[in-house]
Structure 1
Amino acid sequence: MRLIEKVWFNSHPAKWLLVPILLPLSALFWLISTVRRISFNFGLSKSYHLNKPVIVVGNIGVGGNGKTPVVLYLIELTRLLGLTPGVISRGYGGKAPHYPYLLDENSTSLEAGDEPILIQQRCQVPIAVGSDRIASAELLIAQGCDIIISDDGLQHYRLARDIELVIVDGKRLFGNGLLLPAGPLREGKWRLPKSDLVIYNGKSSQDRQQKYTPGINMTLVATELCNLLTGERIKLKDFIKRNESVNAIAGIGAPQRFFDTLTAHQLKINKQQSFVDHHAFALADFSEFDDNIPLLMTEKDAVKCHDFCKENWWFLPVDAAFSDEDRQLIIDKTQIAIQSAI
């Protein structure tokens, strides 16, 4: 974990030095974002309404909150409702030949970013990436999509939305509660009640009593492992029986969450290594790992490692799970969004 993240989330002693230095920049960030938001609220800047419903899945802080599992969940949910979803994304870290860029079976994470590739490989759904989310959405609508799911984009006020789902890491919550760069927040906690639904990724022991509303719990469920080289899938319980220990890497927003997931399933981690979110992996990153011990990684990391993977490398897909009551709430919110766009 980078030092600044330790300051944001773990109250590292360096906070006494860094936070006072960064607070003036946070004040400037607040001023610029406030002026921009007011501009949209009073019509000085225009929001664009598409002729199809738009669901925005975002957060008020930096990454690693669990947006992608929610996007995957919504893709399947909207298909069950008889719709043809399309996903738009910024495509962070990718350098496409042009924008908006429509992914195909030959697209790579170098072009589109890691999350869009993960989503496409898992769901075979139309995906367009680019900073102009409206242009990306219109491209998908031209492809026959009748509902747009925006992966991130909560602060992209130029794109009007019919429903907002805000994802919050139930463990890290809001860190020190400060705006970037002194803290991890893009917007303050005041933003939560203005959304349609707050989804807590994992149970939270605090802040829930403030009722940021309505708030529901999400758990990430893992049932199997997939081999990067062969595509073989094996039940997690069977894999555990065969392997006394594993190595693990994670280049996501909250790497420790992945390692905790492994240990929670009774996997003994021999060696683990964290990388920054969206890290561009190369074979040299794995030189210190013993090839005789299985190496486990997240699905997001795996999309960047297929070109040089080894036979003992595995990734762990996870799925969002909700209670029946909360699932129905998501369905109700989605159906309202659909009706409001008609």
Structure 2
Amino acid sequence: MREPRWWYAPAPGPVSRLLEPVGALWGSLVCRRFARAKSYRAAAPIICVGNFTAGGTGKTPLALEVAGLVAGMGLTCAFLSRGYGGRLAGPHWVDPERDRARDVGDEPLLLAAARPTLICRDRAAGARAIATGAAAVDVIIMDDGLQNPGLVKDLTLAVVDGARGVGNGRVIPAGPLRAPLGFQLDLVDAVVVNRGSEDSAARGDFADLLRRDFEGPVLDARIVPGGATEWLSSAPVIAFAGIGVPERFFATLAALGADLIAKVAFPDHHDFTAADATQLLDLARSHDATIVTTEKDRARLAGGEGPVAELHARARALPIRLKLEARDESRLVALIEGAVGRRAQKAR
């Protein structure tokens, strides 16, 4: 989908006000689903990484960062994902070398490149499949699922865009929220504010608001490159992205010194066509430019034919990671240790 710009207006406009009753109904249905749910307690501790809004906030990079922290404690982990955008219902262990985004979704492919990843639309069934897998794990990291009551979570983290916050504060379709903010805040143990890649005084506004309204930890993080970036300045760049907030990716490239000749944005989880690929390849040829995209977008190009296959071969992905401030990383480690320790005590 391509989100409406008025979702992130400073205040609800006429369209948002018109849709507000529908949003209120949607929000009440989410709350009712939680009230009626019988959540399954998995054999391993569940760490859920989610977000309050539709669209991208940096959830997948945070999930990968959490996995790294878990590994640093000497614990094993696996990712559990719904497999949004894929055709398989699961349970299915993702093979990043053989599976395609159209089958398993683009985010699970990125996760599977780092840690064992299972997709399953039924989260409880997915947790059971992980528990009975070939190698038991110490921790299950649930990618997305903040609004899913199917599993008991031992630690719930929400990541929010520090620049955009929660937009006009209304629930879908009147705004970007997946459920009323107050209800969602009650579900989480900590909030990670993704401040992007550039410094801005305005980026502290939503974090300050959260610290007033949320009693738990509010942690700061930034987008940093996951590898060398010198190659970005070796030639002009044609950048494209089909993610929740393409502008954040373009801003990251600019902050790293890329000479952006063109910035082409597509809807989130876009299925690239031959026409899309031809447009980008022609742009690159006419400017003798390097084609740069996100890891998620390049993953969706894999397995294509004709111009799509050529674009996959020519495009370079910029790996990024979400890095927490040193003090906040220590706080997150303490939260993970506490969640794992509480589960171990209950098992005795």
TM range (shorter): 0.7 to 0.9
Partner of 1:336: 338
Is 1:127 matched with 2:127? no
Instruction: Give 1:309 deviation, angstroms.
Output: 3.4
Is 1:74 matched with 2:66? yes
Q: Quick one: which of 317, 320, 323 aligns to 1:321?
A: 323
Q: Give the Cα–Cα distance (whole angstroms) in 2 for the partners of residues 6 and 304 of structure 1.
A: 25
Note closer, same or farther for the CA distance 1:313–1:30 as it changes in structure 2 (3 Å cut): closer
Q: Give the Cα–Cα distance (whole angstroms) in 2 for the partners of residues 215 and 12 of structure 1.
A: 24
Q: Give the Cα–Cα distance (whole angstroms) in 1 for the partners of residues 256 and 46 of structure 2.
A: 37
Structure 2 residue matching 1:206: 3-state secondary structure: helix
Instruction: Give 1:263 deviation, angstroms.
Output: 1.0
Partner of 1:217: 220
Aligned sequence identity (%)? 33
How many residues align? The count is 319
Report the residue type matching 2:318 in the other structure.
L
Q: Give the Cα–Cα distance (whole angstroms) in 2 for the partners of residues 52 and 173 of structure 1.
A: 32
Partner of 2:207: 208
Instruction: Give 1:217 deviation, angstroms.
Output: 0.7
Q: Give the Cα–Cα distance (whole angstroms) in 2 for the partners of residues 141 and 34 of structure 1.
A: 29
Q: Give the Cα–Cα distance (whole angstroms) in 2 for the partners of residues 66 and 223 of structure 1.
A: 14
Note closer, same or farther for the CA distance 1:159–1:193 as it changes in structure 2 (3 Å cut): closer
Structure 1 residue matching 2:141: 3-state secondary structure: strand
Q: Give the Cα–Cα distance (whole angstroms) in 2 for the partners of residues 79 and 72 of structure 1.
A: 11
Q: Give the Cα–Cα distance (whole angstroms) in 1 for the partners of residues 232 and 265 of structure 2.
A: 22
Q: Quick one: which of 82, 89, 113 aligns to 2:105?
A: 113
- Alpha-carbon contact 1:263-1:269 (below 8 Å) kept: yes
- Alpha-carbon contact 1:293-1:312 (below 8 Å) kept: no
Instruction: Give 1:266 deviation, angstroms.
Output: 1.9
Runs of 4+ in 1 over 3 A off after TM superposition: 10-13, 309-312
Instruction: Give 1:100 deviation, angstroms.
Output: 1.3
Q: Give the Cα–Cα distance (whole angstroms) in 2 for the partners of residues 189 and 315 of structure 1.
A: 34
Note closer, same or farther for the CA distance 1:156–1:193 as it changes in structure 2 (3 Å cut): closer
Structure 2 alignment gaps of length 5 or more: 197-202, 304-308
Partner of 1:294: 290
Q: Give the Cα–Cα distance (whole angstroms) in 1 for the partners of residues 102 and 232 of structure 2.
A: 33
Partner of 2:128: 138
- Alpha-carbon contact 1:87-1:126 (below 8 Å) kept: yes
Report the residue type matching 1:106 in the other structure.
R
Q: Give the Cα–Cα distance (whole angstroms) in 1 for the partners of residues 94 and 232 of structure 2.
A: 36
Partner of 1:42: none
Note closer, same or farther for the CA distance 1:262–1:161 as it changes in structure 2 (3 Å cut): same
Q: Quick one: which of 192, 195, 198 aligns to 2:185?
A: 192
Partner of 2:199: none
Q: Give the Cα–Cα distance (whole angstroms) in 2 for the partners of residues 339 and 9 of structure 1.
A: 40
Q: Quick one: which of 302, 305, 308 aligns to 1:306?
A: 302
Partner of 2:6: 7
Instruction: Give 1:223 deviation, angstroms.
Output: 5.0
Note closer, same or farther for the CA distance 1:313–1:334 as it changes in structure 2 (3 Å cut): same
Partner of 2:200: none
Deviation per CA, 1:214-262, whole angstroms, max 9, x where unpaired? 10111111154xxxxxxxxxx312x14421x210100000110001111
RMSD between superposed Cα atoms in Å: 1.9
